[in-house]
Structure 1
Amino acid sequence: MGDTSLLKSKTTDQKETVTRSKSKKRDRSASEERLLQAAEDIFAKHGFKGATTRMIADKAKVNESLIGRYFDGKMGLLFALIETHIKEKVHEELLYPPQATAREELSALVDSMFIHHCQKDEEFFKIVLGQCLVDPKFLKRIREVAPINQYIPLVIARLEVLKAQGLIQKDVDLQTMMEVFDTYFHGAMFFDRILMGNDVNAIKTKLNVFINGIATALEVKAK
């Protein structure tokens, strides 16, 4: 075989290797995606403890061994789901436009959090919360990977603009105020929504009362 033929043969082999590699990556990616979706459905239906890797694999229509190979078991699969949700929720900016007053800003924030976070992911949140309550090691790991109040600096930046415009009192501690807001909001979601099963609109009504109290403390008093 001449040098030219040998070179062509090597080039062809290299192209075929690259093609096979890309194909395997696509296949793995597709299998991982199916497993993640199946796991979320099965966890929501049976709970983390009641779900089995066999149930998940059957729903995803893949070999059960792939769960161990790709995710290191059921717990690894749950954490992969958590990381996926975290990536979807971390934004560089808020998902609604800046508002003209602190009261309107906080009201828009509540609406946004309900739409993009709470209602959409309520069942998954229950799964994670339930596991946190019974598994201290799981809770510790969640604390290490979950972003804490990542939206707060974004809201504070907007409130600082309103403060510069003379619409918010100069001596207000916005950091503390937003941390109080965050605690109350998630407390309402845990107690009112999950434990008591209250209607979302009823929770929003209660939150609006809370927002009015914060806004009254924030806004400059009319002379």
Structure 2
Amino acid sequence: MREIAEVAQAYLFLISRYFGGKEGLLAALTDAFVASRREGGLSYPPQNTLEDEIRCYLHAKLHDDLKDEEIVRLIISRAAIDAAFREGSATHIDGKADQNFRARVRRLQDDGRVSADVDVDLLFTAVVHVSFSVNFFGAMIGARPRSEIEALFHGFAKALSEGVPVQQEKSGLP
């Protein structure tokens, strides 16, 4: 806390008073970090297929996680050992955070490239869990080669998109 106060050029007692100690400061930092991720748009243009949208999304999130690796590691490690922190931060990992991705999938639905009955929330939750697993355990912890991560993202996007039905055109034929 003393180092943080020095870097922030603030009084230690004010940080403690405002945030309620280290735990409160970490909670506020987590909230701010997640809010910044939710507010930003996606860093790539809308894609024409679900497979490309998933693949590009996974790549963008890998880039973001590696750019913010220190805070990502801090939040995850704290959540792994602190049940109260984990419960408090559970609202941030609801699988419904990225409205940008949802809007993109809904656009694909509107264009008939993804069936209207696809559960976008469930689809996004699957993508988020793969993103977390590969980014944290593969890239950050396991230091897997970029080519391996690329292959995982490509294979997952292909497999998931092939399992999602495309809306069929209505024709008068049986």
TM-score by structure 1 length? 0.63
Look at both structures and tell me which one has the larger radius of gyration over its CA atoms. Answer: 1
Return the match for 1:207 from 153, 163, 171.
Answer: 153
1:139 aligns with 2:86: yes
- Residue 92 of structure 1 and its aligned partner are, at CA, apart by 7.0
Distance 2:89 2:78 in 1: 10
After superposition, the Cα gap between the structure-2 partners of 1:156 and 1:83, relative to the gap in structure 1 and judged at 3 Å, is closer
In 2, are the aligned partners of 1:57 and 1:64 still within 8 Å (CA)?
yes
1:118 aligns with 2:71: no
1:194 aligns with 2:136: no
After superposition, the Cα gap between the structure-2 partners of 1:129 and 1:192, relative to the gap in structure 1 and judged at 3 Å, is same
After superposition, the Cα gap between the structure-2 partners of 1:201 and 1:119, relative to the gap in structure 1 and judged at 3 Å, is farther
Pick 1 or 2: higher relative contact order, CA cutoff 8 A, min separation 6. 2
Question: Aligned with 2:55: secondary structure?
Answer: helix
Return the match for 1:129 from 76, 93, 99.
Answer: 76
Q: Which amino acid aligns with 1:119?
A: L
* Unpaired stretches in structure 1, ≥5 consecutive residues: 1-52
Q: Larger % of helix: which?
A: 1
Question: Aligned with 1:218: secondary structure?
Answer: coil
Distance 2:52 2:125 in 1: 18
What whole-Å deviation, never above 9, does each CA across 1:8-41 have from its counterpart, x for those lacking one? xxxxxxxxxxxxxxxxxxxxxxxxxxxxxxxxxx
1:163 aligns with 2:109: yes
Q: Which amino acid aligns with 1:175?
A: D
RMSD: 2.6
In 1, are the aligned partners of 2:27 and 2:85 still within 8 Å (CA)?
no
After superposition, the Cα gap between the structure-2 partners of 1:171 and 1:90, relative to the gap in structure 1 and judged at 3 Å, is closer
In 2, are the aligned partners of 1:67 and 1:74 still within 8 Å (CA)?
no
What whole-Å deviation, never above 9, does each CA across 1:83-119 have from its counterpart, x for those lacking one? 221221112754433211112211221222223x311
Return the match for 1:182 from 117, 128, 150.
Answer: 128
* Unpaired stretches in structure 2, ≥5 consecutive residues: 168-174
Distance 2:11 2:101 in 1: 46
